[in-house]
Amino acid sequence: SPDGKEVYNIVTDLIVANSFPAVIREMDGSKEVLPKGSTQTKNQDVKHTNNCDDTINMMTCSDVFTIERDELDIQAHGLLPLRTILSYFERGRTNMFGGPNNLRKMQDEDGILAVVTSVRDLSLFWTPAVASEEKNNGTEKDLYPTMVEAGQQIVVNTAVEVKRKGMILEFHQSLSLLKEDMLISKGRVYLMMINAETRRPTSKLPPWAWELLDVQDGVK
């Protein structure tokens, strides 16, 4: 199996090949270590509840999935590739709308398409190797990605913020190992509502969608 450096090269190659604005960040256990000179903004963390929580200012849901063998990277065994991470994010967003049938309903009956316009602040969280720190007298660190196995459970936390009266939905998403409570990735995904007939942006989300997102029609 590839060593840490080989895995790093594989991941960075995938980032470039897929044109994802992803960065690799260091983790100390389940706590993020911020790069020098950076600051941490207060975000809306949510416990693994496997349901939705509207007690904070953004509607937040948690979904638990089981990793399938064909979702692992074929080049680096035990690594979740970016395409799989983004696929899990998509499933989390879809569930906030009530599932794929509701998205089809919104397109066929309400004439509205939900289109991903951008992915921002996409981060992968890696853990420093203790042996590497001892070897380099603490001056350098070899970072290793969080390795997973088929059959493990992961949790996707999804919080939505409504902007421009529903024309833009900003999703704050993270993916973690459920049992180990170890963060793997997080980022922000932006969806724009498009009129299926005119192909122009619209803020006319159907009432049932506002209800699912737990936001009153047009309040933001």
Sequence-distant (≥ 6) Cβ neighbours of residue 116 within 8 angstroms: 189, 190, 191
Query: Strand runs (DSSP E) across 147-195, as ranges?
Result: 153-163, 168-177, 182-195
Give the chain's mean pLDDT.
Answer: 74
Among 164, 156, 211, smallest CA distance to 190 is for 164
* Tokens standing for residue 78: 């035990």
Q: How many CB atoms lie within 10 A of CB 80?
A: 23
**Whether the predicted model's global pTM rises above the 0.75 cut:** no
pLDDT at residue 10 greater than cutoff 80: no
Q: If DSSP codes are grouped into helix, strand and coil, which group holds residue 109?
A: coil
C-alpha–C-alpha distance, residues 137 and 25, integer Å? 21
Q: How far is CA 52 from CA 48, 49, 57, 61, in A?
A: 10, 8, 13, 4
Amino acid at 121: D
Residues 136-156 pLDDT 10s: 555 556 677 788 999 999 999
Percentage of residues of the chain with pLDDT beyond 90: 43
For residue 219, pLDDT beyond 70: no
CB-CB contact of 193 with 158 (8 Å): no
CA 142/CA 170 separation, integer angstroms: 34
Q: What is the pLDDT of residue 42?
A: 30
Average pLDDT of the segment spanning 200-210: 92
Give the lowest-confidence range in 20-24, 96-100, 111-115, 165-169: 20-24
Mean pLDDT, residues 89-107: 94
Helices marked H in 46-202 — which ranges?
82-96, 100-108, 130-135
* Residue 41, amino acid: T
* DSSP single-letter state for residue 34: P
> What is the b/e burial string over 171-186, where b = at least 16 CB atoms within 10 angstroms of the residue's CB?
bbbbbbbbeeebbbbb
Tokens for 189, please give them. 């995904």
153-163 and 143-145: which strand pairing?
A: unpaired
The encoded tokens of residue 164 equal 């421009």
Q: Are strands 168-177 and 112-128 parallel, antiparallel or unpaired?
A: unpaired
